[in-house]
Structure 1
Amino acid sequence: MRLLIVGGSVVVGGALVFTAASALAPPPSNPRPAAAEPAARPETLQERLKRLPEDHRSWARLGVQYVEQARLTGDPSFYPRAERALATAAALAPADDTVLSGRAALAAARHDFPAAARLALQAVRANPYGAAAFGVLADARTQLGDLDGAHEATERMMALRPGVAAFTRASYAAELRGDLTGARRFLEHALADATAPADLAYCRTYLGELALRSGDLAGARGWYGQALAASPGFVPALAGQARAHALAGELPAALALYDRITARLPLPQYLVEQGEVRIKAGLAPDWALLRAQQRLAAEAGVLDDLTAAEFEADHGDPELAVRHARAEYGRNPNVVAADALAWALHRAGRSREGLPYARKATAVGWRNALLHHHRAEIERALGRPARSRALEFNPRFDPALPALARFS
């Protein structure tokens, strides 16, 4: 399930990087390159903290920078650094809303959504006008299956700071309800508000995903191309292009892109997609890097039973998938976790146990082809009338490439 953190990046209490106020001296009347004064360089957070070691908000922002670095690089070793910086901030000012919001962002990044919701609520109580805290609260409540609570937090964020972060969350909430028109409209609002290349790329990429999830490959490719025009090398847009190639049957082109993507950002999602496209192309998958990334994430405190459950159900040990899925659903009873548990139980030969979870996964209105395919397969296994709406929702859906339908 997509986790939105302030327009594709984590922002808490203001900018990610502290910039010292400075003014450049006017140039000399006849400047020579060797004699010209160098431009003043913005002060980094680390430099500021050397000067002001008790600046708790800068410690909190440094922690959030590390969270963002983990997201951008796929390197979970940044999370312990974030934890240390945020622990220093909390020791200095435990009730400060910037500190609490930063701790909530780290908890969300590590998939500890109960803690993220608790910390975000504390931040909201400390400062009811902090939009960033409402954003993390909306994300956490979505992952906890509390869609009404997530909607309430998103609405509050929209009232406080309408912009890319709020509009993208509102878009996802609408999509989960099955309102694709509303989801597209909110993303268009976000795009109209975006100015930074990363935000433009982010909004265009998710407009591409909406198109791809509806089977509109041409529309999706157009949006991904526009995203890359705004931010060349933007990995989510490259991944979108790879999915579009794979779903069009252009497997060599898809694999060439996946090779580029996983070399730069070896996230488990991309590694599973790459492996499935290799299988579709008649090649052997290599899951070694995936398992290594999962170990590194676990060592860094990331709780991700969901990815393990989905992978094991489709490509590994179904009983192990059930154990992971039960752990995930126990912490985060959302529709994606319900689907993972339903599918794991079915693959383990316990379709009757899985059916109630499949029904829950398809009950909120989300037009997700994979969830509806799983429910239909479970119903067929039980000898019940089954009508899959997967191809109705996405004519390009391919059950041999399930990870490509999980990219939301």
Structure 2
Amino acid sequence: MQSVRVLAGAVVGCFVLGGVLVVMPDGDRRPPPSPGPVARAVTAVGSGAPASLPDLVALIGDREAHLRAHPGDVRSWAELGTAYVERGERTAEPRYFPKADAALRTSLKGRPKGNTEAFRGLAALANARHDFRAARGWGEAAVAASPKRWTAYPALIDAYRGLGDYKNARRTLAELMELPSGSRASGAQVLVRAGLVYRDRGWREDSAATLSDAAALASAPAEQADCLVRLGELAWERGEPAESLRAFESALRADPGEHAARAGQGRALAALGRDSEALLAYQSALAKQPLPRYALELGELYESLGLDGAARAQYDVLRARVREGDAAGVNEELVLGLFEADHGDAGSAVRRLRAEWARHPSVAVADALGWALHRDGKDKEAIGFATRATDRVRGGGARIALYSFHRGMIERRLGKESAARRHLGEALRISPVFSPLLVPVASRTLEELGEPGPGPAPGVEGAGRQR
């Protein structure tokens, strides 16, 4: 953690020094003119930081016009492609991803060797499509082409995390942190990746402190909002809905176009019992960024309120968005598998998630596959995946209430009542509000299991460092 604090201080020092250096020698101390939307977006896209939606639209229009007149400009093709990726992510409009692919490959065709901008853009595109194997390949190409450029590293860290390769994610973060501080133009983006890697290890205090530092170092409102959303998501995982809500509200104040914060608001408001406000927040998020997982969360909230017709409508939205994304190369098998396991065809969920596990053996997929197997009546196989998802030695360091709940329910079915009681209790201790549908199930099942009988207390598997 000390290295992170040193990095934050070094980056702040660089910004202050930069402010001194721009003073004009003739004594005119007026600040330079503020950059326009295109310049702001170019800076953000070039550093891998989020840009505001209006700035992205301005950059895309500018580069499209420029490339019609100058089709051989390799760098502009890479900037355009990367801007398409971010616009597609920010708006959940997968139609931008084929455009991004075409622009980035045009850049790569013009300069196939050492084209770090195109490699990085293609890695970001593959991550956005949840194709983490392809993202790893492009990310490794970017780092090999420019090992001293920090912007080559974040997409590769994201790819390793998506693949469940947490060891290489930590190694790559360490390499990034060892770069000279002067090469890190955006300390916020470096700290964001550090915070996410710490989260994966279960170092929740370190993760929260690092993400707070990232928000403080953010150089633009959109970047600050992105950092605050990640803080809100971490607080939600920790079972702190009020703190989570404050982070999401701060994100929206920084950038009203940060639609992920609207969905986060919905999650937190529901946990706080403010159901009407939660429904409005989710509806707003889906209107602007209609991701399948938001539709699933809203559908389950409706179901918990007894509004089954409204829930089914959201599940239809989920299926439609998955189909639309699939046509543009977006892999939503994880969300679709979880949906099918709980609300559709468990056998289909197992088939989908087995294939996803073969592609991306992450902790999240292990949990989802274990749950789908349980719902399909295959509990002896399910427990292996559920154990892996909660095993701190094998990657399950992040304490996620849903994973503990799934494991406890599988153990209950297998007759392992002591283990089931332990893991269901753990789920509610991690977050007593982790799901509007499943918290009542966890509480009811614990009551049915009753108090533990006499005998030695069971040990806790996979004990490891927790902060």
TM-score interval (norm. to shorter)? 0.7 to 0.9
Mapping for residues 97-176 of structure 1, pairs under 5 Å: 97-160=116-179, 161=184, 163-176=187-200
- SS of the residue corresponding to residue 301 of structure 1 reads coil
Tell me the equivalent position of 1:374. 406
For residues 228-272 of structure 1, give each alpha carbon's deviation from its aligned partner in whole angstroms, at most 9, with x where no partner exists. Answer: 221225212221211111112222221122122111111111111
1:383 corresponding residue in structure 2: 415
Q: Deviation per CA, 1:57-91: give whole Å up to 9, x if none.
A: 21111111111111111110111111111121121
Deviations 1:180-220 (A, max 9, x none): 11101110210121131112212222222222222222222
Q: Is the 8 A contact 1:13 1:61 kept in 2?
A: no
> 2:72 corresponds to which residue?
54
Aligned residue identity for 1:135 = P
What is the identity, as a one-letter code, of the residue corresponding to 1:219?
E
Gaps of 5+ in 1: 1-8, 18-40, 403-408
Deviation at 1:47, TM superposition (A): 2.7
Shift of 1:42: 11
2:421 pairs with 1:393: no
Q: Could you tell me which of 197, 222, 228 is aligned with 2:246?
A: 222
Identity %: 42
TM-score (norm 1): 0.86
For residues 7-406 of structure 1, the aligned pairs below 5 Å read: 11-12=45-46, 44-95=62-113, 96-160=115-179, 161=184, 163-284=187-308, 285=311, 286=313, 287-364=315-392, 365-384=397-416, 385=418, 386=420, 387-388=422-423, 389-398=426-435, 400=437
Distance 1:148 1:14, change over 3 A: closer
For residues 42 and 64 of structure 1, the distance between their equivalents in structure 2, rounded to whole angstroms, comes to 10
Which deviates the most, 308-317 or 205-214? 205-214
SS at match of 1:44: helix
**What amino acid is aligned across from residue 77 of structure 1 in structure 2?**
R
Instruction: Provide the rounded CA distance (Å) in 2 between the counterparts of 1:236 and 1:14.
Output: 18
What is the Cα deviation at residue 401 of structure 1?
Answer: 5.3
How far 1:224 moved relative to its partner?
2.0
**2: distance between equivalents of 1:357 and 1:102?**
33
Question: Judging changes above 3 Å, is the alpha-carbon distance between structure 1 residues 312 and 42 closer, same or farther for their aligned structure 2 residues?
Answer: closer
Task: Give 1:400's aligned amino acid.
Answer: L
8 A Cα contact 1:56 1:90, kept in partner: yes
- Equivalent position amino acid for 1:252 in 2: S
Separation (CA, whole Å) in 2 of partners of 1:42 and 1:278: 38
- 1:69/1:139 Cα in 2 relative to 1: closer, same or farther (>3 Å)? same
| RMSD over equivalenced CA pairs, Å | 2.2
Change (3 A) 1:215 1:43: closer
Q: Which has the higher contact order (CA 8 A, sep 6+)?
A: 1
Offset at residue 133 of structure 1 (A):
2.1
Query: In structure 2, what is the equivalent of residue 38 of structure 1?
Result: none
Q: Judging changes above 3 Å, is the alpha-carbon distance between structure 1 residues 84 and 219 closer, same or farther for their aligned structure 2 residues?
A: same
Which residue identity is paired with 1:74?
Answer: A
Evaluate the alpha carbon distance shift between residue 124 and residue 252 of structure 1 in structure 2; reply closer, same or farther with a 3 A threshold.
Answer: same
Q: Residues 212, 175 of structure 1: CA spacing in aligned structure 2 closer, same or farther, 3 A cutoff?
A: same
Distance in 2 between the 1:134 and 1:233 partners? 26
Q: Which moved more, 1:184-193 or 1:197-206?
A: 197-206
**Letter aligned with residue 136 of structure 2:** A
1:104-139 deviation digits (Å, cap 9, x = unpaired): 211121111111111111111111122222111101
Q: How many residues align?
A: 371
**Structure 2 unaligned spans of 5+:** 1-42, 52-58, 440-467
Structure 1, 142-151 or 96-105: larger mean CA deviation? 96-105
Q: Is the 8 A contact 1:198 1:230 kept in 2?
A: yes
